[in-house]
Amino acid sequence: VLLGLRVGVPHLAVDLTGLEEPLAALGIEGARFGEVRETAARLPYEETGIVAQARSLVDWHARHGYCPNCGQPTRPGEGGSMRSCGACKAQHFPRTDPVVIMAVWRDDRILLGRRRGGAGSFYSTLAGFIDQGETIEDAVRREVLEESGIVVDEVRYHTSQPWPFPSSLMIGCFAHATSFESQADDVEMEDVRWFTREEARRAVEAPGPELGFAIPGAIAIAHHLIKAWASE
């Protein structure tokens, strides 16, 4: 898959999933495979976008071998930026799934939640996929109501981040709660809790077990939303 040119140098992504010993097969020495999230956390900002693009595109090709229109096999084209169907001639392009992720706040408190199946003391901002026919604001209000029982009025966009697991765009917002009365959704959430600005600040600046809870690391947009709110 051709990702593009950077300072005149073509960048390509190759799916090596089928190879037993990919490094030996390609004759590459002094390299090793690393987990995407860990590796991306150590890369300069401009290079994380390349990793995200490569991860999403390789994954998209792996999952789109058949035409959703007629069920026949598809073939990659145009340097891997699309796939086309030999039978019905339909062209298919990679898509991005928008997800809203929001820091819900009121006065000097921020609402964070713990997902079912998540690690013990790990709290993060609420999040969810945007449904068909919804605006960003609609999705923020619906997700917050579903996951925490809280009614949100003002929604403010903050920042966004590609999240290639497999192909999401995280749209980070601040959402103002109309009350403190929360009720966690039993299906998705283990717990939702209000934290003070001081607690949020400590979780960003000096995380540790004595705090009793932890927030996502700096690779995640949740971290930056909490940090931005904590330092307001």
- How many other C-beta atoms can be found within 10 angstroms of the C-beta atom of residue 24? 10
- Is 170 an interacting residue with respect to Zn ion (CB under 5 A)? no
Residue recorded with tokens 């929360």: 182
- Is 57 an interacting residue with respect to Zn ion (CB under 5 A)? no
User: 90 or 136, CB closer to Zn ion?
Assistant: 90
Q: Which residues pair with 76 in a beta bridge?
A: 83
User: 42 or 89, CB closer to Zn ion?
Assistant: 89
- Is 26 an interacting residue with respect to Zn ion (CB under 5 A)? no
- Is 39 an interacting residue with respect to Zn ion (CB under 5 A)? no
The CB-of-83 to Zn ion minimum distance in angstroms stands at 10
- Grouping H, G, I as helix, E, B as strand and the rest as coil, residue 105 is strand
- Is 151 an interacting residue with respect to Zn ion (CB under 5 A)? no
The CB-of-92 to Zn ion minimum distance in angstroms stands at 9
Quickly list DSSP for 138-172: HHHHHHHHHHH---EEEEEEEEEEEETTTTEEEEE
Torsion of CA 218, 224, 226, 231, to 10 degrees: 110
User: 72 or 159, CB closer to Zn ion?
Assistant: 72
At 203, list the tokens.
């979780």
- Is 41 an interacting residue with respect to Zn ion (CB under 5 A)? no
At 117, list the tokens.
């199946």
User: 91 or 196, CB closer to Zn ion?
Assistant: 91
User: 4 or 77, CB closer to Zn ion?
Assistant: 77
User: Residue 223 and residue 194: Cα distance in Å, rounded?
Assistant: 16
Which of the residues 59 through 98 are near Zn ion (CB under 5 A)?
67, 69-70, 72, 85, 87-88, 90
Which residues of this chain interact with Zn ion, rule CB under 5 A? 67, 69-70, 72, 85, 87-88, 90
